[in-house]
Amino acid sequence: MLLTNAAFGQITVSPEQTAAAMAQKLAGQGVTIIDPVLNCPSYASGFFSSVGSLPGFDSGIVLTNGRAQTNGSQYGVNGYSTYLASNNNGGAGDTMLNALAGQTTMDACSLEFDMLPLGDTISVDYVFSSEEYIAAVCGPYNDAFAFFISGPGISGNQNIALVPGTNIPVTINTINDGVPGSTGNISNCTSMGPGSPFTDYFVNNSNGTQLTHNGLTTVLHAIHPVDKCSQYHLKIVIADAGNALYDSGVFLKAGSLQTEQFNVSAVVNPVYDTATAVCVKGCLPGRFTVRRSVARPQAQTVKFLLHGSAVSGYDFSPVADSVVIPANAYSADVLINGLPTPVNGTRFLQMAILAPSCDGSGVAVDSASLLIYDSLALAVVPADTSVCRSSNFTMHVTGDDIYTYSWSPANYLTADNVKQPLCTPSGSTVYTLTASLPGSACPAKSAVSSVHVKRSPVLTLTADTTVCDRTTFMLPASLAPPDNYYSYVWSGPGGFTSTQLTPLVEAIAGGNSGVYSLTVTLDTNNCTAIDTIHIGIISPDTPQIAPIIFCLNSGNMQPDVPGNGITWYNANDTVLNGSPNIATNVPAIYQYFVTQASQGCNSRQVPVQIIVEQCCDGSIFIPTAFTPNNDGLNDIFEARPDYGYYVKAVSIYNRWGQLVYSGTEGKWNGKFGAADAEMGTYYYTFSFGCILGGIVVKKGEVQLIR
């Protein structure tokens, strides 16, 4: 399998760096590096950068007892955790780690150098990771690493890579998830010291996509007191212990090897909604704040340099070249007071602080800047504006974002307290804009702007509407004020265009329903008005009708077709009052038409063919009376058709028009619900189907006798 750095875009490793480059990458403020030495097998160390969440910082250096960079089937620290980084470099071990781990080490990789700290404490941020997580947790073998420091006030070489708040070294067995691996025993972890294993500092990476190692620590902070301006030696080393299998690594944050820090910032007044620190001549002072990282019991003088386009003694009052941070304090301020001068534009002032150095010269470590304004500057550009009615534009203002703005009146503005509101005028207005710096001694400034609204058309289209398919409709519009110099442009679905105010349109379902837009232009000043209307076209579905067959000699028949709001038409397109009355005494073929209605609109006409033809030849006998008294004789009322007919349906009603029986078997037992029906006359309608096609309907009456 071929793998490259491109496959692991979240961590990038650049191996084979020099000792000087590695040490300088690590060094931060207040530390001078002397005589760095790198002792590592090829490709075991390098720079790294990360855009993901691991290792916990975005860049720095990495030392490993295997490979730093993944290349092909040789896996380094960057890659998926499903890959196994287990490289035997064949390198020697480290005697200092042998003593610390109590095991023979191999494949050692170390970076060591002398350093000169400017403060009284040295610290570095790091993360330890390993393939020995998860399977080898609490096992007999642990890869070893340490940060050995030596120098004044330190006995021998001390390891400062310790579990926070303890003297316990950081290892696989001291920081993990608390679950022994397949070859481990929890006693190997608990014996490392009180509280071990420390699970709060562990990150499980068994499903990771950035780092090949299965686990790692959180970002840890190695720290040790030192004597200022005294030379110390630091050795950062990692190695395999017990065997050369399963790699580990230590990531160190760029610039994190540091001692006491100093920085400066230009103070942004919280009253003003701006990210820029400012000074206004004669009314608003500027402010720099110089900070140190430790509040010491002694006062401390910090020197600084000022430079930029602002001139001391002309643009601002002269200030000293240093500031004193009081005892037990973290910071001190330097005020910049602007001097009133003729208008000469915005000036720039930068302060660079000089951190104390061992030779007393000072080292520039940080800088900040602020702007110095002549006074509150304000103008609306242009001062006079002519626009068409209801068009919108931004009120363009020259002035600084730190000011508080107020517009009067607020008519037609999106807001009256912003620098450049959107204006949508319906009438001419004179605006006054006021700019101020609340909480300062700066006087407010004002500017006037006139907005003139040109004569513009006022267009109104009626509300959205619907029309019936195949009808002609008018696009309705009204316009004011009256004028002979209007021009019109309609556009709509299906490529519709017109230059009339109220054009006629032929409704075609699926062709021209949708949004119609009218643009009206007053030709004398080119002001326009635009409005839209949505036209929906109703086109009811046409009914689907098969030929209707009536049997010869069935009496007068009225055809029925399924659908909603059916309207009948004869061949001359005359509307009929209901369905036609068809005589069945002679064979014939009749042609009619029907439409279906929906939402007040009719569908397109469809033809209906009615055929009168000979059906079955047999007769149908229907009794005129029956006696449902359970004597076994004539208890059931039923029709007896000859061969070829069959009962499709029957309905029986009493003399009050109530339905007492309906069914498809055509057999009535004289019941009305669960009770016996009263004696008397009942009215029936039988529908018979013929196996040759067609329907025969018989209507009549029957006597119920008990």
The pLDDT-based confidence of 439 (bands split at 50, 70, 90) is confident
Q: Among all chains, which residue has been given the structure tokens 């970002």?
A: 219
Q: Which residues contact 135 (CB under 8 A, 6 or more apart)?
A: 181, 182, 183, 214
**pLDDT attached to residue 706:** 87
Q: Is 151 left (phi over 0), alpha (psi -120 to 50) or beta?
A: left
Q: Determine the average pLDDT of the residues in 448-457.
A: 92
Residue 466's SS3 state is strand
Residue 556 in domain:
yes
Give the chain's domain count: 6
CA atoms within 13 Å, Cβ hemisphere of 109: 30
**Top-confidence residue, 553 or 379:** 379
Residue (of 29, 500, 509, 569) closest to 255 by Cα position:
29
Cα–Cα separations (whole angstroms), residue 574 to 230, 351, 492, 598: 117, 99, 36, 20
Return the percentage of the chain with pLDDT > 90, whole number. 66
Residue 153's SS3 state is coil
What CATH number does residue 646 fall under? 2.60.40.1220
Q: Among all chains, which residue has been given the structure tokens 């060094």?
A: 27
Tokens of 492: 């709509």
Residue 270's SS3 state is coil
pTM comes to 0.52
**pLDDT attached to residue 319:** 95
Residue 35's SS3 state is strand
Q: Report, in angstroms and rounded to the nearest whole number, the Rg of the chain calculated over CA atoms.
A: 49
Q: What confidence tens digit (pLDDT) does each residue in 68-91 have? A: 999 888 999 999 999 999 999 999
Q: What confidence tens digit (pLDDT) does each residue in 83-124 have? A: 999 999 999 999 999 988 888 999 999 999 999 998 889 999
**Top-confidence residue, 282 or 205:** 205
Backbone angles phi, psi at 558, to 5 degrees: -115, 115
Q: Report the mean per-residue pLDDT for the chain.
A: 90
Q: Which residues contact 695 (CB under 8 A, 6 or more apart)?
A: 549, 550, 551, 554, 648, 687, 688, 689
Q: Return the bridge partners of 641, or none.
A: 620
Cα(348)–Cα(170) distance, rounded to whole angstroms? 50
| Residues 53 and 75 occupy one common structural domain | yes
Query: By the 8 A CB rule, do 348 and 310 touch?
Result: yes
What CATH number does residue 344 fall under? 2.60.40.2030
* Residue 342, pLDDT above cutoff 70: yes
| Residues 405 and 328 occupy one common structural domain | no
The pLDDT-based confidence of 45 (bands split at 50, 70, 90) is very high
Query: By the 8 A CB rule, do 262 and 289 touch?
Result: no
* Residue 618, pLDDT above cutoff 80: no
State the residue range of the domain holding 464: 458-538
| Residues 111 and 36 occupy one common structural domain | yes
**pLDDT attached to residue 16:** 94
| Residues 24 and 171 occupy one common structural domain | yes
Which of 253, 279, 295 lies at the terminal end of a domain, its last residue? Answer: 253
| Residues 62 and 184 occupy one common structural domain | yes
Q: Determine the average pLDDT of the residues in 540-564.
A: 86
| Residues 173 and 285 occupy one common structural domain | no
What CATH number does residue 449 fall under? 2.60.40.10
Q: Determine the average pLDDT of the residues in 575-597.
A: 92
Residue 366 in domain:
yes
| Residues 300 and 196 occupy one common structural domain | no
Residue 543 in domain:
no
The pLDDT-based confidence of 271 (bands split at 50, 70, 90) is low
Which of 325, 352, 373 lies at the terminal end of a domain, its last residue? Answer: 373
Q: What confidence tens digit (pLDDT) does each residue in 219-250 have? A: 999 999 999 889 999 999 999 998 888 999 99
Q: Determine the average pLDDT of the residues in 435-444.
A: 81
Cα(349)–Cα(268) distance, rounded to whole angstroms? 14
Q: Determine the average pLDDT of the residues in 203-207.
A: 94
Q: Buried b / exposed e across 107-125, counting CB within 10 Å, b at 16+?
A: bbbbbbbbbbbbbebbbbb
Q: Determine the average pLDDT of the residues in 158-179.
A: 96
Residue 672 in domain:
yes
Residue 287 in domain:
yes
Considering only 279-293, 338-352, 607-621, which range has the smallest mean pLDDT?
607-621
* Residue 692, pLDDT above cutoff 80: no
Query: By the 8 A CB rule, do 248 and 105 touch?
Result: no
